[in-house]
Amino acid sequence: MSSATVNKISSEHGSIHKDELHPDHPDDYLREGERWATEEDMNTLRRVGDRLPVAALFVVLTEFCERFTYYGITGPFQNYIQNDYKIPGSDPGAINGGQSMATGLGNFFQFWCYLTPIFGAVIADQWLGKYKTILLFGCIYTLGDLILTLTSIPASIRHGGALPGLIIAMITIGLGTGGIKSNVSPMVAEQYGRYRPFVRKLKNGTEVLVDREVTVQRIFNWFYWAINVGGLSAIATTEIEANYDFWPAYLLPTCMFVVCVTVFYLGRSKYVITKPTGSIILKAYKVITAGIKNHRAAKAENRLIVNETTNKPINWLLYAKPSYNVAGLNMDWDDKFVEELSIAVRASKIFLCYPVFWLCYGQMSNNMVSQSGQMITGKVPNDIMQNIDPLVIIILIPVFDFVIYPGFRRCGLELRPVTRITCGFLVAAIAMAYAAVLQHFIYKTGPYFEHPSEKVNGVHQGNNNISAAIQVPAYILVAIAEIFASVTGLEYAYKKAPESMKSIVMSLFLLTNAGGSILAFCFNSISTNPHLVKNFAIAGGLMGAFTVLFYICFRHYDQQDQDEYLGQLEFEK
């Protein structure tokens, strides 16, 4: 470790023990009064998270601004596309495309936004690194915001410019989102540089175990909290849309994104910035191909290798190790890379059930918005209802972080990732079941029954006489499902990905959201009256079935991950 590194750590953290540094992470350190954890400490002391570094707070603030922009522009989308412009007595609108077009374009935008992170991850890993990639794609994002704002002015809407402008803006903003989303999540966790568990004495004399796993869980909890604080921008933009017009509603998030890029740039001197290591996609493909060939050769020659611990054959991918090169292939990688890739592939398996979760989550920003537009909302815009979700998350994440999760730890019951994700999937299924029952009662209530808030024989129908307040529990359930499933998915993607693959694994997790949008396209024909009961019921049924399937397939991961984590630690003797 260089003297410059020691001086930097000393100046930021006070006195450290220079002779007790983590072997794989030489910038790891102990502050005065701290010591490395022993195996006994790991088994007896209460696990807590560490304080968040200032650099992480800068990245969190950047994500807040970006999500303020994203949700600020998408909040009015359903009305903007579905309804006609300036029709007295009806919800705001611009394009008059109907509910099916609105839901379809909304699903396309979500699909595009979560497909493009693959491109952002490759650019960051191969050429620019996370920091420069976020700045570059931030500029592209800003261009898309400007296009949307300018094409939503009254003259553009009246002359047919709103729809083509919206599509161009969606493509541009989605590209910008991809470059940011795949890199900002791993970058926020990289700002915490302490890897080895250590013991800290509290002011009351109690010793606690400060654990990186708990700290990373806390970082992603607060990262997601910032996302949802930013998501409240839809309250402002839907109010502006309802009381003024769409162009000022879109101008507000556009201005905020300029603040986003500025804030991120100002924190540049504080970030831990990792250099690009080269894209591993092509290399991973070669490793997978080699693993298949070597495994076949070993099987044909009856030379399969058995794990001495489990007494079972090793995974086929491990045959890509140069040390297991049965087929005599040319290999330009080492055993460690194969082991890292194997961990990444195993971790990515849990993402396979997420598209159904995102299908359910996506109902909140399209069909549930239209659902509230069929009920009595008083003077409140129908599309403001979706903001209940981020409001609940803002309230509940501190409760989960400071009360619920620590409470389970004190009882000796750790809610590990697969358990939390299973809970999230189950709650999402219940939310869709509630929405289906609610839609049934909407259709049973007059005066418009199965055709509220739509044109019938050229006549615009009004709302049914049922209060939108009873929709609130559905949004609360979706929020709880997000805390369990979405936050944990982000955390798991980061923790299980090797250092060289964090952006790629994170982008694969985000890609599951695009998968949810593809599923939503299949629902487009029933995403309109009078079929919405069927729409919500099928989504809820699928989520329930995949909840059971997920738990059956992955319930053993929690214990395996814990055993691997403890096995990687080095304790004082």
DSSP annotation string for 502-515: HHHHHHHHHHHHHH
Please say if the pLDDT value at position 252 is more than 70. yes
Where residue 411 sits, what CATH number does that domain have?
1.20.1250.20
pLDDT reported for residue 26: 54
- What percent of the chain clears pLDDT 70, i.e. is strictly above it? 92
Residue range 411-457, pLDDT digits in tens: 888 899 999 999 999 999 999 999 999 999 999 998 888 888 776 76
* Same-domain pairing of 136 and 215: yes
pLDDT tens digits, residue range 372-389? 989 998 888 888 888 899
User: Is the domain of 286 the same as that of 137?
Assistant: no
Indicate if 363 and 453 belong to the same structural domain.
Answer: yes
User: Where residue 12 falls among pLDDT bands split at 50, 70, 90?
Assistant: very low
Domain extent at residue 242: 48-277+343-568
Secondary structure (DSSP) of 38-104: PHHHHHHSPEEPPPPPHHHHHHHHHHHHHHHHHHHHHTTHHHHHHSPTT-TTS---SS--HHHHHHH
Indicate whether 464 and 560 sit together in one domain: yes
Evaluate if residue 406 carries a pLDDT over 50.
yes
Dmax (CA) of the chain = 82
Q: What pLDDT is recorded for position 279?
A: 63
Residue 24 buriedness (CB in 10 A; 0-12 / 13-18 / 19+): exposed
Residue 414: predicted pLDDT:
83
d(CA 157, CA 331) in angstroms, rounded, equals 59
Average pLDDT, the chain: 86
Q: What is the pLDDT of residues 87-103, one digit of tens each?
A: 877 788 999 998 889 98
pLDDT band, residue 11 (cuts 50/70/90): very low
pLDDT at residue 8 in the model: 40
- Identify which has the larger pLDDT, 336 or 561: 336
Judgement on whether residues 347 and 320 belong to the same structural domain of the protein: no
pLDDT confidence band for 565 (50 / 70 / 90): low
Closest to 364 (Cα-Cα) out of 534, 539, 243: 539
| 112 found inside a domain | yes
**How confident is the model over 184-199, as a mean pLDDT?**
88
The Cα 361–Cα 436 span in angstroms is 14
Determine the pLDDT at residue 4.
37
List, for residues 48-64, the tens digit of each pLDDT value.
Answer: 989 888 888 889 888 89
120 belongs to a structural domain = yes
* pLDDT at residue 524 in the model: 82
Within a domain: residue 107? Answer: yes
Domain count, the chain: 2
Bridge partners for 459 per DSSP: 456
Q: Which pLDDT does position 18 carry in this prediction?
A: 41
Q: Is residue 26 part of a domain?
A: no
Do 230 and 295 reside in the same domain of the chain? no
Query: Above pLDDT 90, what percent of the chain?
Result: 43
Residue 67, pLDDT above cutoff 80: yes
Taking residues 458-466, what's their average pLDDT? 81
Q: What is the pLDDT of residue 357?
A: 97
Cα separation, 454 vs 431, whole angstroms = 25
- Do both 384 and 323 map to the same domain? no
Query: What does the pLDDT read at residue 215?
Result: 92
